[in-house]
């Protein structure tokens, strides 16, 4: 089976592998519109907002064992629920996260019949993209084989401070990497036991070198997993993630207002995975989809993992009820940060159109299989497996997968936003597809920005972005993307920029006019900060090496990148004193999360991810429980700079949550999302 993956986390290092194998309303703290007009453009002292977006980490994956230093603060995580203990082992309430088996053999079911809980979980897999060695070593090996025409070595990166450059020489799994052209497939991750307790496990602490053969191409010999090592990448596509969370109207209760149980993460991973098996046929065991129990891994902050993020949480503010916008992966969630909406397929003029059949998802099980989806792979291009499966017409109840989600939404005790927010005849992008523009505004035809070819572009997008709204108000903004300046270079240099992460690159209004000049490289961010030329709103995206994406990056690299950003801003006090830096991830990456999910429309919300607010005005040590998602960033910008909602269907129209003190995580006015203002204290806002 020949496969080309339509996934930003898998496509980059395929060639390297070959070489190697060889509040609610907080208006009391804000200025009135009249005072804002008199004193400046903002309603708070925040004159610079910087949004930093990493990749694929859930709240429990990062903060699952966090303990606030202030005993008056509480947090909802694996440790506080008793699911794990401080050592990262199963706790007294581990059964709350117990994973179930299920059966689904005829059509996609959001909540299929469960068939029981196994006593243990299968060994995690290295999955499709876990690097076998550090980026520095891999690029050196690639160069020795004469397959690095750019001459770039991934041993230094401008996104890291000098002391952190060494992190690029650490990491890897020491095990096989996916390359079907060499008949090389992922393997059960030998750093972990063949069976794990049926509970979340510490990615570092559970590693015991159960059985590791001598590595075929990487020295030294494999060692137990370190915090700086690469691990597997969980499945995190749209229909899989809906199904993983097992949302049942019959399970709705006061303590679980959505009825989402989160007990099918491993079953979905082992029955569907990325829909890639050695022979293209349904899996026959728990390792055939190259997943195993990888979705249940977490980092143990109580044991020292994520030390920098812990220090930020202690000193500034976090939100433990912040969610990815849409079930699924990077593309749509990254775009939602800029639109509070979902892109859809268009023709060359931006009109809604019907995409080719191979772009439409079909999560119905293949005949004779248990939940092995018919048509939802991430970009296979051979005749036996042709799906990219990124688009869904959710207005049509006859479309595969649609009925189950729409029926669940209609069973809720409140009405979903815009009755599911599914406009007639539109095929929404729920999984990764590419922009029709390259990063400079020309047609996207080749290179790393567009590896799958023109047939896999969703067309020029016409829905409004926050960039359009800011520009119309005369408020400055920029998007800074790591690797942007080298995206057209030869491999490997061209591999670091993420086009699907840049939602502005899809927009006709941005990419065909002067606003396309607002898209810059990360180096420009550093120079703008040093020179005092930082715009009012900045979106910052690290390159692939530093973004923390499971498999291709590591948590220490993203922590170091965030530290680079924070240190640069804090060194310029004229900027820092009126700045807020928001740290988040595009999505939870398919990792298990214990938090509440508020169903808003057909697309989500999805599981929790991270939100850290760093600012002189951030509440010290605050753990905010206000229900929020990526549209909350748009709401914050609109609130601060006096902008209107982007459109009648964008989620920035939703009200701020009202919640009971006894149940702060559950809005009583559902659907509702916050504007992040409760993470800040603006005592002198009236003087601004």
The predicted-structure confidence for 79-96, as pLDDT tens digits, reads as follows: 999 999 999 999 999 999
Question: What is the tally of helices (H) and strands (E) in the chain?
Answer: 15, 20
Alpha-carbon distances of 494 from 44, 480, 491, 580, 679, rounded to whole Å: 40, 16, 5, 31, 38
Contact 595, 557 (CB under 8 A): no
CA 183 to chain CA centroid, Å, is 30
Asked if pLDDT for residue 215 goes beyond 60, the answer is no
Tokens of 571: 């060194």
Going through 358-490 in order, the beta strands assigned E by DSSP cover 362-365, 373-375, 391-392, 428-429, 477-481
Q: Using alpha carbons, select from 477, 542, 486, 544 the residue that is nearest to residue 516.
A: 477
How much is the pTM?
A: 0.93
Check residue 358 and give its pLDDT.
81
Give per-residue pLDDT as tens, 137-180.
Answer: 999 988 998 888 888 999 999 999 999 999 999 999 988 777 77
Alpha-carbon distance 387 to 373, whole Å? 11
Q: How far apart are CA 156 and CA 452, in angstroms?
A: 29
Decide if pLDDT at 287 tops 80. yes
DSSP secondary structure letter of residue 536: S
Give pLDDT tens digits for 471-498.
999 999 999 999 999 998 888 888 899 9
In this prediction, residue 550 has a pLDDT band, given cuts at 50, 70 and 90, of: very high
Q: Which residue has the higher pLDDT, 40 or 641?
A: 641
Q: How many CB atoms lie under 10 A from the CB of residue 686?
A: 12
Alpha-carbon gap, residue 482 to 465, rounded angstroms: 21
Say how far apart CA 41 and CA 39 lie, in whole Å: 7
- φ, ψ of residue 206 to 5 degrees: the values are -80, -10
317 bridge partner residues: 613, 622
Give residues with Cβ within 8 angstroms of 456, minimum separation 6: 6, 359, 379, 388, 433, 434, 450
For position 184, what pLDDT does the model report?
A: 79
Q: Residue 453's pLDDT band (boundaries 50, 70, 90)?
A: low
pLDDT tens for each residue of 318-373: 999 999 999 999 999 999 999 999 999 999 899 999 998 888 999 999 999 999 99
Please give the distance of CA 388 from its chain centroid, rounded to a whole number.
19
Mean pLDDT (the chain) is: 89
Contact 145, 19 (CB under 8 A): yes
CA atoms within 13 A on the CB side of 148: 18
Which tokens is 392 given? 């869904």
- What b/e readout covers 453-464, taking b as 16+ CB neighbours within 10 angstroms? eeebbbbbbbbb
Give me the DSSP letters along 571-631.
Answer: H-HHHHTTEEEEEEES--TT----S-----BTTB---BB-EEEESTTBPTTEEE---EETH
d(CA 386, CA 466): 35
Q: What is the mean pLDDT of residues 527-543?
A: 97
Q: How far apart are CA 548 and CA 324, in angstroms?
A: 16
Q: Which of 185-194, 300-309, 312-321, 397-406 has the lowest mean pLDDT?
A: 185-194
Rounded mean pLDDT of 644-668?
A: 97
Cα distance between residue 328 and residue 606, in whole Å? 8
CA-to-CA separations, 28 to 24, 283, 582, 677, 686, in angstroms, rounded: 11, 57, 22, 11, 10
- Answer whether residue 195 shows pLDDT above 60: yes
At 2-34, the pLDDT tens digits run 333 344 444 444 444 444 433 333 333 443 333
Mean pLDDT along residues 72-85: 98
Instruction: Output the six-digit token pair for 552.
Output: 């291709």
Q: What does R_g of the chain's alpha carbons equal in angstroms?
A: 23
Residue in this structure with the two tokens 């119905």, named with its chain if needed:
364
């Amino acid at each position: 089976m020949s496969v080309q993956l339509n996934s930003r986390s898998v496509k980059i290092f395929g060639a390297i592998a070959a070489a190697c194998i060889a509040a609610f309303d907080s208006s009391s703290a804000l200025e009135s519109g009249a005072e804002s007009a008199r004193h400046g453009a903002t309603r708070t002292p925040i004159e610079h907002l910087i949004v930093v977006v990493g990749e694929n980490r859930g709240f429990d994956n990062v903060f699952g064992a966090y303990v606030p230093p202030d005993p008056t603060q509480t947090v909802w995580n694996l440790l506080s629920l008793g699911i794990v203990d401080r050592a990262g082992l199963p706790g007294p309430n581990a059964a709350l996260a117990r994973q179930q088996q299920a059966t689904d053999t005829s059509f996609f079911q959001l909540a299929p019949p469960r068939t029981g809980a196994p006593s243990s979980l299968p060994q995690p897999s290295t999955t499709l993209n876990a690097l076998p060695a550090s980026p520095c070593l891999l690029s050196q090996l690639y160069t020795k084989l004469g397959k690095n025409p750019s001459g770039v070595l991934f041993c230094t990166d401008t996104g890291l401070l000098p002391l952190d450059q060494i992190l690029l020489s650490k990491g890897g799994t020491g095990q096989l990497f996916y390359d079907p052209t060499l008949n090389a497939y992922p393997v059960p991750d030998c750093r972990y036991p063949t069976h794990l307790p049926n509970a979340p496990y510490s990615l570092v602490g559970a590693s015991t070198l159960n059985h590791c053969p001598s590595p075929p191409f990487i020295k030294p010999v494999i060692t137990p997993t370190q915090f700086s090592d690469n691990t597997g990448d969980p499945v995190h596509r749209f229909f899989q993630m809906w199904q993983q969370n097992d949302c049942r109207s019959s399970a709705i209760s006061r303590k679980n207002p959505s009825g989402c149980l989160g007990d099918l993460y491993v079953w979905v991973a082992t029955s569907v995975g990325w829909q890639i098996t050695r022979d293209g046929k349904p899996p026959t065991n728990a390792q055939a989809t190259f997943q195993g129990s990888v979705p249940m891994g977490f980092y143990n902050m109580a044991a020292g993992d994520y030390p920098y993020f812990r220090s930020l949480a202690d000193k500034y503010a976090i939100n433990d009820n912040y969610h990815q916008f849409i079930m699924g992966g990077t593309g749509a969630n990254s775009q939602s940060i800029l639109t509070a909406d979902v892109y859809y397929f268009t023709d060359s003029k931006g009109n809604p159109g019907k995409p080719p059949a191979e772009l439409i998802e079909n999560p119905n099980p293949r005949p004779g299989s248990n939940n092995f989806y018919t048509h939802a792979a991430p970009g296979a291009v051979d005749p036996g497996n042709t799906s990219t499966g990124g688009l869904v017409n959710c207005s049509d109840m006859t479309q595969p997968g649609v009925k189950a989600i729409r029926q669940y939404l209609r069973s809720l005790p409140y009405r979903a936003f815009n009755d599911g927010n599914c406009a007639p005849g539109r095929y929404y992008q729920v999984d990764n597809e590419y922009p029709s523009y390259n990063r400079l505004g020309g047609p996207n035809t080749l290179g790393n920005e567009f590896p799958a070819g023109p047939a896999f572009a969703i067309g020029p997008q016409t829905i409004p972005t926050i960039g359009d709204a800011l520009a119309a108000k005369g408020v400055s903004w920029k998007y800074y993307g790591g690797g942007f300046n080298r995206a057209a270079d030869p491999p490997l240099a061209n591999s670091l920029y993420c086009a699907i992460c840049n939602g502005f690159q899809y927009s006709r209004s941005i990419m065909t006019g002067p606003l396309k000049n607002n898209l810059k490289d990360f180096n420009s961010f550093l120079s703008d900060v040093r020179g005092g030329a930082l715009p009012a709103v900045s979106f910052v995206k690290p390159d692939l090496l530093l973004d923390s994406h499971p498999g291709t990056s590591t948590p220490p690299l993203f922590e170091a990148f965030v530290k680079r950003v924070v240190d640069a801003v804090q060194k310029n006090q004229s900027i820092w004193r009126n700045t807020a830096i928001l740290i988040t991830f595009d999505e939870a990456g398919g990792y298990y999360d214990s938090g509440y999910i508020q169903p808003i429309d057909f697309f989500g919300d999805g599981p929790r991810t991270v939100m850290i607010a760093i600012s002189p005005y951030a509440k010290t040590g605050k753990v905010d429980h206000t229900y929020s998602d990526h549209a909350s960033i748009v709401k914050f910008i609109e609130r601060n700079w006096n902008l209107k909602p982007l459109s009648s269907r964008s989620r920035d129209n939703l009200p701020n949550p009202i919640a009971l003190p006894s149940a702060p995580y559950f809005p009583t006015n559902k659907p509702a999302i916050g504007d992040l203002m409760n993470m800040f204290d603006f005592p002198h806002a009236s003087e601004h």
